[in-house]
Amino acid sequence: MNGPSRALLKDKRSLAEITAQFQALLKRYAATRSLAKVKLLHGHTITADMLHSSLGSAEDVRPYMVVSYSRCGEVRYARKLFDELPQPGVVVYNHMMRICVDRGEYFGVLKMFVELLQLGYCAPDKYTFPLVFKACSELSSVELGRVIHGQTLMSKFGSGTIVQNSLLAMYMNCGQKEEARKVFDAMKEKSVVSWNTMINGYFKNGCAQTALVFFNQMVDFGVEIDGATAVSVLPACASLKKLNVGRRVHAAVEKKVLGNNIVVRNALVDMYVKCGSMEEAKSVFDGIVEKDVVSWTSMINGYILSGDVRKALVLCKAMQIEGIRPNSVTIASLLSACASLKYLNDGRCLHGWVMRQKLDSEVVVETSLIDMYAKCNCVEVSFGVFARTSRKRAAPWSAMLSGYNYNGLAAEAVGLFKQMLMEGVKPYEVTFNSLLPAYATLADLQLAMNLHCYLMKSGFLSTIEIATSLIDIYSKCGNLEFAHKVFNAIPEEIKDIFSWSVIIGSYGVHGHGKTAVSLFSQMVQSGIKANEITFTSVLHACSHSGLVDEGLNLFKLMLKDQKTNPGDDHYTCIVDLLGRAGRLNEAYDLMIRMPFRPSHAVWGALLGACVIHGNVELGEIAAKWLFELEPENTGNFVLLAKLYSALGRWEDAENVRHLMNDVGIRKEPAHSLIEVRKM
DNA sequence: ATTGGGGTCT
């Protein structure tokens, strides 16, 4: 026997002295992560306990044991000792919570926190709160986070920079950027971490622009950037394609020597790739001495984005020669490239490789395989892959749904969705992106009502995009009443330009022009500015219902508006509107004064109107242009022939029909055979 | 003893 135990046996010193020695030793061992020594000491404490039956000293030492074990990563012992402690203090609690965080047991953190609050003899401290906020953040529990935020404000830790930083991260990760902003603005001392958290948080919440604003402010304030700043701001530059800002960050990285960090280098490669500068991406990539799988994957993705899938595949080989194995992300990236280019063979090769590498059970890989086969129009193979997945996660189901949708199999998509629900898989928002169009295609009222019911119960209907799709589905089913009910149920303040456009369009398509126009003015009154899409919907509605004056007024409104420029669609609507009303010359005058050359659609609208009203003069002009703009469209010949026949000009009609048959064979420009009198 | 951080797909 040696060390402290022997000291205890001899009992030359007081218990307090020995306890202090134990504590000091344990602290040192914890700092140096010396697990073996901690274990030895643990043994000594047990011996000491037995010999002296003086638990007093051991009670002072055991909390230190817990801390040391947890620092050394020996979770089992730490847990056991912790459970045996009669009165664990806040420090021990903090260490146990840290263990939970490291193991991803966030609910355990919350349980311990509540326990700690109920103890009565001690309270959470500045080390406790960051751990608890981390747990709230990972569990996406803002409600709880807010409560604990309130608690920090009541305590003296609410003004601590580190506590506030973890609070920022919690709000940002829960999607509450406004609340994060309030905390940030109120912070007395902002550290570089605070700025980084804001930049990164805004980017993650879809506000890349604001992320850059914060970055610029940070630089203006003279805050020294670090590696995490670079890693947070570069993706924002990438998504906004701000090559110049990216280059400035790169320069700062070089100046501050942050580039030893491979994470920073990889972020730079990705930024250059996304900004389309492959030369710069390659030069950063070449400069990385020890490239990891992320460096390679970013570069591979770069070649894919620049359209060189062959080179991407070559690089994938090169990386393996260098001894780096592609991971599921690399594969997912390559497979998505094969999908969009319909490279079925390369996709199959990758599939085989993935199976041999045993990467085929990763969800991302499964999902991209399903997507790749579907995009290559091999739905059966796609389903085969899908059937072999564990089917517990929503992603493969979503991929399969979008696969069915892509291949025009709407009924299958709806059937699969039902099965998904029966198997208890919870969809997420993007699942509906591919599912809802299928319902619109089927246009089955009973199915739509079932869906409506589900969306209400599951709460997804409160998502504006999904509610908007449902309006469209009801409209496609011909049920404007339900469509309008769904529209009315959307709270006024979240109705956006898209939901208004869809309801206006729905009334327009079903010939209720007046309602469409009145909805349009309601929208403007509610403070939403019309855009090109809404104008298309409302003008379409006018032309469908023959509301000439209303249509012309709206069109004038559009011309006056600086923000909305009439495009081809709008001219098509107006020409159609005037044409149907028999005001053909007005329509033609408008076309001549158009700021750009009328497309086939505009000419088509004019020709259609000429047929209705028997106007050969303008009809021939329109036909001449149409034959030039879309020589393959035989419909235009049919229309012109119809125009001639209606006026009893049988011979001309017959000629046009011959012409139509010839075009397919001779590819001779048809318009040369038609005499154009005026143009 | 604490806080923030890279590439893909859904």
**Residue A565 · residue A555 · CB < 8 Å:** no
Nearest residue by alpha-carbon distance to C1' of B10: A395
- Checking each nucleotide's C1' against the CA of A226, the nearest proves to be B5
Confidence (pLDDT) at A58: 63
CA–C1' span, A428 to B6, in Å?
Answer: 26
* Higher-pLDDT residue of A49, A95: A95
pLDDT at A56: 46
Q: Which residue is nearest to nucleotide B9 (CA to C1')?
A: A364
DSSP state letters, A333-402? HHHHHHHHHT-HHHHHHHHHHHHHTT-TTSHHHHHHHHHHHHHTT-HHHHHHHHHHS---SHHHHHHHHH
State residue A674's pLDDT score: 47
- The nucleotide whose C1' lies nearest the CA of A27 is B1
How far apart (Å, rounded) are the C-alpha atoms in residues A504 and A397? 33
Protein contacts on strand B: list nucleotides below 7 Å from a Cβ.
1-10
**What are residue A379's phi and psi, to 5 degrees?**
-65, -35
CA of A129 to C1' of B2 (A): 9
Task: State residue A38's pLDDT score.
Answer: 85
Q: Whole-number Å distance, CA A338 to C1' B6?
A: 24
User: What is the identity of the amino acid at A359?
Assistant: L
Backbone φ/ψ region at A120: left (φ over 0), alpha (ψ -120 to 50), beta: left
Q: Where are the alpha helices (DSSP H) in A155-191?
A: 161-173, 177-186
Identify the band that residue A217 occupies on the pLDDT scale cut at 50, 70 and 90: very high
pTM to 2 decimal places: 0.74
DSSP assignment of A522-568: HHHHTTPPP-HHHHHHHHHHHHHHT-HHHHHHHHHHHHH-SS----H
CA A140/CA A545 separation, integer angstroms: 50
Kindly indicate the confidence band of residue A424, based on its pLDDT and cuts at 50, 70 and 90: confident
- With pLDDT > 90 as the criterion, what percentage of chain A qualifies? 53
Region A178-182: mean pLDDT is 94
Per 3-state DSSP, what percentage of chain A is helix, strand, and coil (rounded to 5)?
Answer: 75, 0, 25
Residue A336 predicted with pLDDT over 70:
yes
| CA–C1' nearest nucleotide, residue A89 | B1
Nucleotide nearest to A258 (CA to C1'): B5
* Angle made by CA atoms A51, A54, A57, in degrees to the nearest 5: 110
A172 CA vs B5 C1’ separation (Å): 14
Q: Distance (Å, rounded) from C-alpha A594 to C-alpha A569?
A: 12
Residue A23 has pLDDT above 90, yes or no: no
Above 90 in pLDDT, residue A606? yes
Say whether pLDDT at A13 is over 80.
no
For position A171, what pLDDT does the model report?
Answer: 95
Lowest mean pLDDT among A26-30, A230-234, A246-250, A598-602: A26-30
Q: Residues 6 or more apart from A311 whose CB is under 8 A from it? A: A303
Mean confidence (pLDDT) of chain A? 88
B5 closest protein residue (CA to C1') = A228
**Tell me: the pLDDT tens digits for A338-375?**
998 888 988 998 999 888 888 877 888 999 999 999 99
CA to C1' distance (Å), from A219 to B8: 31
Q: Which residue is nearest to nucleotide B8 (CA to C1')?
A: A329
| Distance of A207 CA from B3 C1′ (whole Å) | 22
Nucleotide nearest to A397 (CA to C1'): B10
Give A231 CA → B7 C1' in Å. Answer: 12
Helix (H, G, I), strand (E, B) or coil at A259: coil
State the residue for tokens 């309801």.
A503
Count of CA atoms in the C-beta half-sphere (13 A) of A43? 9
What is the end-to-end Cα distance of chain A in Å, rounded?
112
Cβ–Cβ under 8 Å, residues A461 and A467: yes
What tokens does A370 get? Answer: 């399903």
Report d(CA A594, CA A610) in Å as an integer: 19
CB atoms within 10 A of CB A147: 11
Q: Phi first, then psi: what are they for A88, rounded to 5°?
A: -65, 135
Note the CA–C1' distance, A328 to B10, in angstroms: 14
| A249-CA/B7-C1' distance, Å | 19
**CB under 8 A, 24+ apart: contacts of A143-149:** A144/A110, A145/A170, A145/A171, A145/A174, A146/A179, A148/A113, A149/A183
Query: Is 50 exceeded by the pLDDT of residue A1?
Result: no
- In this prediction, residue A81 carries a pLDDT of 87
Rounded to whole angstroms, the distance from the CA of residue A182 to the C1' of nucleotide B2 is 23
Distance B8 C1' – A151 CA (angstroms) = 40
| pLDDT on residue A666 | 47
Q: Which nucleotide is nearest to A71 (CA to C1')?
A: B1
Closest nucleotide (C1' vs CA) to A368 is B9
Q: How far apart are CA A272 and CA A263, in angstroms?
A: 14
Amino acid at A68: S
Which nucleotide has the least CA–C1' distance to A232? B5
User: Shortest CA–C1' contact from A329: which nucleotide?
Assistant: B8
Query: What DSSP line would sit under A558-579, residue for residue?
Result: HHH-SS----HHHHHHHHHHHH
- What are phi and psi for residue A494, nearest 5 degrees? -105, 0
Check residue A61 and give its pLDDT: 81
- Least-confidence region, from A173-177, A389-393, A603-607, A648-652: A389-393
- DSSP for A67-120 reads HHHHHTT-HHHHHHHHHH-SS--HHHHHHHHHHHHHTT-HHHHHHHHHHHHHHS
Q: Contact, A157 vs A125, CB < 8 A?
A: yes
Say how far A231 CA is from B5 C1', in Å: 6
Separation between the CA of A247 and the C1’ of B1 (whole angstroms) = 38
pLDDT of A676 strictly over 50: no
Which nucleotide is nearest, taking the CA of residue A292 and each C1'?
A: B7
Give dist(CA A291, CA A601) in Å, integer.
53
Number of Cα atoms under 13 Å in the Cβ half of residue A580: 16
Half-sphere exposure in the Cβ direction for A373 (13 Å, CA): 23
Taking phi first (over 0 means left), then psi (-120 to 50 degrees means alpha), and beta for anything else, what does residue A277 get?
beta
**Percent of chain A surpassing pLDDT 70:** 94
Q: Alpha helix locations (H) across A464-530?
A: 464-476, 480-489, 497-509, 513-525
Q: What pLDDT, on the 0 to 100 scale, is given for residue A382? A: 94
A258-284 b/e (C-beta count within 10 Å ≥ 16 → b) = bbebeebbbbbbbbbbbbebbebbbeb
